[in-house]
Chain A
Amino acid sequence: MTLSLYISGDTTARALGADALVAVLEVQAAAADVPLNIIRSGSRGAFWLEPMLEMDWQGKRIGIGELMASDAEGLLATLLDNPESHPNYLGEVAELPWFANQHRLTFARAGEGDPIDLNTYRALGGLQGLERALSLTPDAVVEEITDSGLRGRGGAAFPAGIKWRTVLGAEADQKYIVCNADEGDSGTFADRLLMESDPFQLLEGMAIAGIAVGATQGYIYLRSEYPRAQLMLNEAIDAARLAGVLGERVLGSDKSFDIEVRLGAGAYICGEETALLDSLEGKRGMVRAKPPLPALEGLFGKPTVVNNVLTLAAASTVLAEGAAAYQAHGTGRSRGTLTVQLAGNIARGGLIEVPYGISLREIVFDWGGGTRSGRPVRAIQVGGPLGAYLPEAQWDLPLDYEAFAQAGAMLGHGGVVVFDDTIDMAAQARFAMAFCVAESCGKCTPCRMGSIRGVEVIDKLVANPADTAQKILLEDLCDTMEHGSLCAMGGLTPSPVRSALRYFPEDFGLAAEAS
C-alpha cells in the first residue's frame, strides 16, 4: 500500500527545510522499496511547527512537528511502524489547542491537501459560493456582501458591499476586479499563505465579485517578493480555466470572467490602491487624488473593485454560507474573523484566525508563547510599518478596528510584530522615517522632504537629548506630515515615531513625561 504524507510546500516551510525533508524521505522510500506519495499541501500557518509532516493514522490526521532532514534517520520506518513513537509526535492536528481554539473560516482548507488540485478544493467545500452567486441576481450578490458586514482586510476596513454597489451602479463598457496582493507590511503573510495554500478561494472570490458588479476581467497585482505565490496562482488559474471555472461561460453559465497575475516591482507604495492602479497601467506608482473614486474611474479609467486578497477570499465564504452565518462571527462593527499574523521575536509564530475582540495580550502570550529569545516582551508593533509601537499598558486592547483607532493605533492587515527588551526604540523611530524616505511616491512635500528631515532630527535628538528644540521640531514635523500628506504613507509614518517617543522616551535619552 502507498504511504501518503502531507508536507507543506509554502515559502516558510521551505525556508525552514521542508524540501530537504521530502528529499530524505524519498531516498528512504526508494531504498526500502516502499511506494510513497508526498502531497505538497499548503501550510496551516503554524510556522513554529514547520517543517511539519502529517498523515492519516488510525482514522485521524496526525502530525509530527519541527522535523529537520538532519534528524530524519529511520524516519520512514518509524512512520510505517508507529508514528506515535516519534519524539516530535503531536497527536491529532485539529485537536492541538493552538488550532482548536481558532475560528477558521478563510483558512479552514489551508494545509488540508494539494492547493492546486481542483477536485480537492471541491471536496473541501470549494466553489459552492460561486455556484450560489451564479444562481442569484447581481444585486442579490452585492446584498449578501453588504449584509455580511464584510469590511476590507487591506487596512482601511471599508465596507466591501458599499464599494461593490458603487461599481455595480456605474455604467461602462468594461469594468475590472483588481486584487491587491501587494502585502507590503512587514509582519504580514496572510495573503501569501492564502495564495500558496488555497489559491482557488481567491480566484472564486474574484469571480463572484466579477459576476456581482458586471466585470469580465480580473488582475491580481502580486508583489515580486512572492515567487512561490506567483507559481501557485498561475497553476491554479490554468487548472480553473481547463475546468471551465474561469474563462468564457463560468461553470456553464452565460457569464465570463478571467484573471491575470501581474507582478509589482518592489515598491511599498504600490499597495496603496491608486498607486497600484497606476502601476498596473504601466506607470510610476504615484498616488492619485480622490475623487474620482477607483470604483468609478479606476483601472484604465473604468469602474474598478480594488480589494485585498483576504476580502475577496472571504466573499466566497459569505456566498457559500450566507451573510447571516458570516455576520454571526465578530463583535461590534468588526464582523467575521480576524487573521492575525504573529511575527518578529515570537516563540510560536504564525497565522491564527480568531474572532474580533480578543486582546493583544491573549494572542501574543496564549498563542504566541511570548518571545522566541525568552526575554521579556517590550514593545509590540501592530498594523505594519505605519502602525504604532504599543507598550505593556496597551496590551489589553481588544482587537477590533474601532478600539484600536480610539487608542491612536490601527489593526491594519493584522500584522503583530513582537520585540524583546533589547530593542532600541529610537532606532525604530528612525527606521520608520527612513522607510518613508525610501518608499514615498514623492507627490507631497511633507512626506518626501519631511521624512528626510525626520531622520536628521532624530539623529540630532539622540546625539544630544538636552537639545529640547529637536524634540519640538520632531513633533512639528510629525504634525506637518499628518496634516499635509495625501495618503497614509506620509500621514501615518508619524504614528510609530510618536508612539516610540511617547512610550519609550528613555531610549531617546529623555525623561518620561508626566501624564
Chain B
Amino acid sequence: MNDIRIEECISRYRDVPGGLLPMLHSIQHALGYVPADAVPAIATAINRSRAEVHGVLSFYHDFRETPPARHTVQICVSEACQANGADALKAHAEASLGVAVGHSSGGDVALEPVYCLGNCACGPSVRIGDAVHARVDADQFDALMAAMRQEA
C-alpha cells in the first residue's frame, strides 16, 4: 500500500464503533476510489477478514474499486424522473458523450444511474459533484457538460 492518505483514513476511523463505512467514504473522498491494496490494511486495522471488508465494499453502489473518470455525472433513473422524460435524457446523454450509463470506467466523463436525488417534483434530475440540476432537457444537459469541462 502506497498512500499515506489511506493510513490517515484508517487511523481516523479504526476505533469508531461501526466505522467501516465512514472509513471507506473517507478513502474514496481522498482518492476517488478504494484501491484493492487498501483492503488488507483495513481488515487488519479493524480486526475483520479481508473477505468481509471486500464484501462490504462491493455491496454498496457508492464505492468504486477502480479510479473514476475525470468527471462523474449522475442521472436519476427513478420513477418520478421517468415521468418527466428521464429515459430520453439518458439516451441523449449516452449518444452525445459516447458512453453508456453505468458502463464506463476511467476516461473523461462517466455516466452513472442514481435512484433518486430527492428532487422529484422538478425532474429530470442530474447531479454533478454536490450540485443537483432540475428539469434538465437535452439543451441544458449540453450546457452543463460544457460548463463542467470548462471548470476543470
Contact = CB atoms under 8 A, between A and B. Distances in A.
B120 A187 contact: yes
A179 B96 CA distance: 41
Given A12-B121, A282-B20, A265 B115 contact: no
A415 B79 CA distance: 11
A16 B83 contact: no
B60 A267 contact: yes
Interface stretch (B2-10, B103-111, B131-139): B131-139
Interface in B6-26: 17-22, 24-25
Binding site of A, secondary structure by majority: helix, strand, loop or mixed? mixed
Interface in A197-220: none
Interface string B9-49: 00000000111111011000000000000000000001000
A268 to B, nearest CB: 6
A22 interface: no
B96 to A, nearest CB: 21
B101 interface: no
A189 B84 contact: no
B75 interface: no
Given A16-B134, A48-B121, A346-B121, A265 B114 contact: no
Interface residues of B, number: 42
B27 to A, nearest CB: 12
Contacts of B120: 186-189, 341, 343-344, 349, 415, 417
Given A284-B59, A344-B80, A345-B83, A186 B116 contact: yes
B63 interface: yes
A249 B124 CA distance: 46
Given A15-B122, A186-B120, A282-B19, A344 B83 contact: yes
A423 interface: yes
A183 B118 contact: yes
Given A284-B56, A344-B79, A381-B79, A185 B84 contact: no
Contact of B115 (A47, A262, A435): A435
Interface of B: 17-22, 24-25, 46, 52, 55-56, 59-63, 78-84, 114-123, 125, 127, 130-135
22 contacts: A12-B118, A12-B134, A15-B122, A16-B122, A186-B80, A188-B120, A225-B114, A225-B118, A227-B130, A263-B25, A265-B63, A279-B21, A285-B59, A299-B18, A300-B17, A343-B121, A344-B79, A345-B84, A423-B82, A423-B83, A428-B79, A428-B82
